[in-house]
Structure 1
């Protein structure tokens, strides 16, 4: 009787689909070639990859490159492999069960636990929003000279863009995100060529070095890169947006959807790996090997790029990429906020109201800190936002590993033993890492 009740609770109200306005809305051609079907499934991975190159990640990559050269490229690679694993679990959960991670948590845990998880998820989204607000404001300041406090306020207007795109269809959001990702890729591709990195040393940087563990300063930066890479809101987001495809809701259709979704997310996260590695390589080439090893933040990097690379467009490309990164993160943050609120609380607010509430919670502290402390304060707030994200991550990862390893919930799609061991190893590692980061930050 208990098993039957648990199964009913897991499958309850399946009609309440995740992101109901776009769920099952993107057509997938039947009896088509492999590449035509893959093209139909491509898109959600790009939205996920956005979270791995948001403004909050830039600071750690810039610091790692300017202080230690190419050594920490191996840490970026490890972070990316962890991300591919966790995102594949999130997409499989959504495809197999028809529930996003927030809905699955609400179905499986008590009301008190679900409410706590919702609060933590909301804090993570607010922290992500703060990083987006500050990143976009810094980019507007660097490009157009707009004061930071006004740049923070201007970013609140992006809710109208999000609403417009949602009404036109989910594919429009994906196209905008992919366009902005390509913009970031092109900007850093040009800057990499201009920086003339030593390719032999770059290749060596992807091989883990003993000094990463033995050097306390390097270890701290390495942990910062790892801790800020996997974004908790991305796990909720991915488990939902994979359901926008019109795959057959049967055994064969789900197997096919899982396969194409894995290819999509792996390809997009590889692009994110290139961007994060490019930021670190650029920082190492432009600063570490020219003696500028005390680059404190994004603004310092912007000011030093032109003279160190000997080009007047280097800093402009950097700022354009930063603006594209901030705006991209805004789009995905909007969707993640809607998924978390609807999934945990089963409350369906209008998207503009939900976005406005979250945006105000991000803008208010950003405006106050910017007004009082200026650039230094925004950099501190940017770092704090990453600490908050680190605190919340395990509360998304552990339920995800639990659900995808439960045969009663996943059936034939349950994680095999080797994947279960690997997933729990990553989950424990992330938890231990974040505990260390929090102790180091506050103590």
Structure 2
């Protein structure tokens, strides 16, 4: 007769297993900890680039188009168009981030490398392609700054009703001094956290304002969510619906954000910055005049020389060295996630909120009137009260200022990349703002609010025209194996290979002409230090290649997006020229 041990549980007694919660095992704890550390590392080091790029996607130009779309056509199908424009923006912005992270250069510098010294017809390519493309990009920067200037001026007039419009336009020129305080993140090679913090605060104000406005207007949420579903009504309604949808696409995807995103992706956000050398004890402290002179030199510079960092700005594609594989692995994934979350979590919701507000308050089947920013504020003041109108005006000013700061930074990147002119952001912003102020002042004095609204729409048309010319080189460069390949050191074991198990690479190795890798050898990736000394001394060094270019599917999708944007812009221009929109 066998007696059961008291310590062994009965096969039929499982009540304790059902009622007692099981704690995390040691393996589960170890699995959760790395994920938490990765998320914490992302928020500490990498959050900021995506938010700065997302600012351009809800500037005052977007506001005008979204308000008109919501007031004229309601939730459906324009909310789906906003979502589709956001997806297009994500794809192009991710390509820009990949280009900067892998190669270490932004889109503007790559355009110069591609077009400045053409192997067959250098002068012809410069005059017919490079310089016209640079001129188009400068026009896009000025048009962007014009939209931000007008939006900020209108917002100031809404906050201070007694302020004349032309005075508000003039006051927006004061923000040229912003870069004296927040610094210049494009020249350090590292993120300027104070700059990113300023942008984050302004974007947060805009976001909170729209949350409060949506709570106040009480939209029909089932119909709102239904608006994000594709609908055939876009092609079955009046012709202006297609034109408005094209306007949303053109106003959402901003050319300057692609240059900005590719530049910010080149920054090292992981390693520790170099510490300055200690000052010798016998060194004299500079006088006040010397410090003042250094300060003005740091903010007032224009030079034709190359930048003084260690990056390679002159070697042509196929011969230059891209970033190291360690840098790419530390930044590429986090940068991609940051861009996607910022555009989906900020740009798309804010644009959607603007349209939802307009549709909830003003949409009717017989409404074909034009509603601009001023009309929206007036109707909101009458319907929702002073507090809601104040939130709307405050969000407009903050959106205009954030977009204006990033547009100036993008203009600096464009001039440095295309023509190697190093201009301080203060001078750059001053020149760009003066160019924008001249037509704005003339229109504000002569035509008032109606002229300002027309000028705002014209700036978005210009951006729509420029976008295909900027998107094509981006897609071409990121799809090129010559541009996006990274050489990595490899070790070829010549002796004692049978006694040492190979360490296989987890990355595809693609041979190129200037770095051949024999197919009959066994490649061990970056684990040379783990081998014993006898194997080390009997080895030779070669280079393998890791290809970070777009895959076939992504390339096809990107070029399809480019064709759609091109056709949409041509259609919009034709409709506008025929007077049918």
Separation (CA, whole Å) in 1 of partners of 2:268 and 2:400: 27
State the match for 1:385 in structure 2.
Answer: 459
Separation (CA, whole Å) in 2 of partners of 1:347 and 1:219: 41
Q: Provide the secondary structure at the position in 2 that maps to 1:313.
A: helix
User: Which structure has greater helix proportion?
Assistant: 1
State the match for 2:327 in structure 1.
Answer: 253
Partners of 2:105 and 2:263 within 8 A in 1: yes
Q: CA deviation at 1:247?
A: 4.6
Separation (CA, whole Å) in 2 of partners of 1:427 and 1:291: 35
Question: 2:56 aligned to 51, 56, 74, which one?
Answer: 51
Give yes or no for the alignment of 1:304 onto 2:379.
yes
Judged with a 3 Å threshold, the aligned counterparts in structure 2 of structure 1 residues 290 and 173 are, in CA distance, closer, same or farther, namely: farther
Q: CA deviation at 1:272?
A: 0.9
Q: CA deviation at 1:438?
A: 1.2
State the match for 2:348 in structure 1.
Answer: 273
Question: 1:263 aligned to 328, 337, 342, which one?
Answer: 337
State the match for 2:195 in structure 1.
Answer: 173
Counterparts of residues 5-404 of structure 1 (less than 5 Å): 33-39=37-43, 40-71=45-76, 72-110=78-116, 111-112=126-127, 113-145=129-161, 146-166=163-183, 170-215=192-237, 216-247=239-270, 249-270=323-344, 271-288=346-363, 294-309=369-384, 311-404=385-478
Deviations 1:253-302 (A, max 9, x none): 30331110111111111111100000000111111159866352010000
Q: Provide the secondary structure at the position in 2 that maps to 1:52.
A: helix
Q: CA deviation at 1:330?
A: 1.3
Unaligned runs of 5+ in 2: 1-34, 117-125, 186-190, 272-322, 486-546
Q: CA deviation at 1:391?
A: 0.8
Q: CA RMSD in A?
A: 1.8
User: How many residues are matched?
Assistant: 413
Separation (CA, whole Å) in 1 of partners of 2:469 and 2:136: 8
Partners of 1:290 and 1:308 within 8 A in 2: no
Judged with a 3 Å threshold, the aligned counterparts in structure 2 of structure 1 residues 117 and 441 are, in CA distance, closer, same or farther, namely: same
Q: CA deviation at 1:394?
A: 0.7
Q: CA deviation at 1:228?
A: 1.1
Separation (CA, whole Å) in 2 of partners of 1:188 and 1:360: 31
Q: CA deviation at 1:36?
A: 3.0
Q: CA deviation at 1:32?
A: 9.8
Q: Provide the secondary structure at the position in 2 that maps to 1:164.
A: helix
State the match for 1:12 in structure 2.
Answer: none
Deviations 1:139-194 (A, max 9, x none): 00010122111111111111111232116972111111111111111111011011
Q: Provide the secondary structure at the position in 2 that maps to 1:33.
A: helix
Partners of 1:44 and 1:242 within 8 A in 2: yes
Q: CA deviation at 1:34?
A: 0.6
Separation (CA, whole Å) in 1 of partners of 2:444 and 2:228: 37
Separation (CA, whole Å) in 2 of partners of 1:204 and 1:223: 21
Give yes or no for the alignment of 1:437 onto 2:572.
yes
Q: CA deviation at 1:33?
A: 2.4
The answer to which structure, 1 or 2, has the higher relative contact order (CA under 8 A, 6+ apart) is: 1
TM-score in terms of structure 1 length: 0.90
Deviations 1:204-248 (A, max 9, x none): 100111110122121111111111110001100100012223357
Separation (CA, whole Å) in 2 of partners of 1:246 and 1:287: 46
Judged with a 3 Å threshold, the aligned counterparts in structure 2 of structure 1 residues 313 and 32 are, in CA distance, closer, same or farther, namely: closer
Separation (CA, whole Å) in 1 of partners of 2:559 and 2:365: 42
User: Which structure has greater strand proportion?
Assistant: 2
Partners of 2:71 and 2:371 within 8 A in 1: no
Q: CA deviation at 1:82?
A: 0.4
Partners of 1:94 and 1:239 within 8 A in 2: yes
Separation (CA, whole Å) in 1 of partners of 2:466 and 2:180: 28
Larger Rg: 2
Unaligned runs of 5+ in 1: 1-30
Separation (CA, whole Å) in 1 of partners of 2:325 and 2:151: 43
TM-score in terms of structure 2 length: 0.69
Separation (CA, whole Å) in 2 of partners of 1:37 and 1:247: 9
Judged with a 3 Å threshold, the aligned counterparts in structure 2 of structure 1 residues 317 and 292 are, in CA distance, closer, same or farther, namely: farther
Q: CA deviation at 1:339?
A: 0.1
Separation (CA, whole Å) in 2 of partners of 1:421 and 1:37: 34
